[in-house]
Amino acid sequence: MIRVCHVITELALGGAQQNTLYTVAHLDRRRFEPILIAGPGGLLDAEARASGVEVHFMDALRRDVSPWHDAAALVSLTKQLRRIGPAIVHTHSSKAGILGRWAARLAGVPHIVHTIHGYGFHPGQSRLTRWAWVTLERLAGRCTTAFIAVSRANLNEGVALGLFPAGRASLIHSGIAIGDFSGPLDRHDEAARPATVGMVACLKAQKAPLDFVQVASRVAALCGRDKVRFVLVGDGVLRPQVERAIRDEGMEDRVELAGWRRDVPAAMKRFDLLLHTSRWEGLPRVFPEAMATGLPIVATNVDGAPEAIEDGATGYLLPPGDIEGLSRRTAALVLDPGLRHRMGERARAKVSAWDIDDMVRRQERLYEGLVAGSADRAVSRSTQEEPA
């Protein structure tokens, strides 16, 4: 029995958190003993407690950077890992990734795995802040046995920056329960009703929800207000600014703020297309979710987006912040139901690579390879049949 301890900063309602929780809940209990450590206060905390997995919530482990709390978290994590005695520690996200890997090293854990769900550094930061994050990642990389990247773009960037050698990294896409999103879309009265443009995202700077509102206003002007409506599923720190922007654009009757939704498959089936305005990403799970639903996607061309979206075939990719380009492409799909259907069906045909149970099996192969032999052989084994 291989004891595997996953560490994540907070169980917020996001792709990295949902996939981590799914992984620990679905590891083969005949071969693995899963344990989860997280900071408290996430929307998925109750789900974690009900999962049947041993869960530890650590007060000092917080999202915000704080030297005092971060030092306390490092000490607490080290003590907890010494007590648990796992064969493998698997970390997620930048904060827990750095603190968790060093704590595992200090606790004498034999194998340390880190999944890159995007990086803590991004183009919107100052040079000093970016340098600090890159340096911390390089240092943490020295005590990491194997890496998993959710996108090839993140994998290639990590190698280029010297965060890890290519031979220690596996590409394992963030999975979804494809069957939950499949099935025919409701096309009833499609010609008589406005097209629905949706986005599913946390309302934070990374996702650029204010760009979504600007695009919505321009699309309404291009298509006619009665031809389109917008739904933004999610919540977060920028909600007051988003509400103000909707009022300023005069779009109160056209943009719905739906808040957090756990029934994402049902929400997706209300959409006619997905609009995603992020400034940086790993590879968001919302892309394969839309693909499985049969929706075309208009998105910013950042990080792993081209690995899911075939520009001109299953959707459109535009530079981040290109409000006019995003608006024109969205308007074209709003006005052409036939084009939406063709793109959506092409997208649906390409979604099999994102099966969530296959994601778990690949991680299991990595764990067993680490325990049985070298890191290089483990990475090779975990990426069997992985598409390029």
In a domain, 301, yes or no: yes
Range of the domain at 309: 178-352
Q: Are residues 220 and 328 in the same domain?
A: yes
Q: Are residues 151 and 193 in the same domain?
A: no
In a domain, 89, yes or no: yes
In a domain, 388, yes or no: no
In a domain, 331, yes or no: yes
Residues whose CB is less than 8 angstroms from the CB of residue 49 and which lie 6 or more positions away in sequence, other chains included? 55
Q: Are residues 168 and 185 in the same domain?
A: no
Q: What is the CATH number of the domain that holds 104?
A: 3.40.50.2000
**Domain count of the chain?**
2
Q: Are residues 137 and 229 in the same domain?
A: no
Q: Are residues 363 and 318 in the same domain?
A: no
In a domain, 387, yes or no: no
Q: Are residues 33 and 149 in the same domain?
A: yes
User: What would you measure as the largest C-alpha separation in the chain, in angstroms?
Assistant: 64
pLDDT in tens, the chain (388 residues): 999 999 999 998 888 999 999 999 999 999 999 999 999 999 999 999 999 999 999 999 988 888 888 999 999 999 999 999 999 999 998 889 999 999 999 999 999 999 999 888 887 788 899 999 999 999 999 999 999 999 999 999 999 999 999 999 999 999 999 999 987 766 667 777 899 999 999 999 999 999 999 999 999 999 999 999 999 999 999 999 999 999 999 999 999 999 998 899 999 999 999 999 999 888 889 999 999 999 999 999 998 899 999 999 999 999 999 999 999 999 999 999 999 999 999 999 999 989 999 999 999 999 999 999 855 555 655 554 454 3
In a domain, 328, yes or no: yes
Over the stretch 357-378, which tens digit does the pLDDT of each residue have?
999 999 999 999 999 985 555 5
Q: Name all contacts of 181-190 with Cβ < 8 Å and 24+ positions apart.
A: 181/265, 181/268, 181/289, 181/292, 181/293, 182/292, 182/293, 182/348, 183/269, 185/269, 185/293, 185/294, 185/295, 185/344, 186/269, 190/272, 190/337
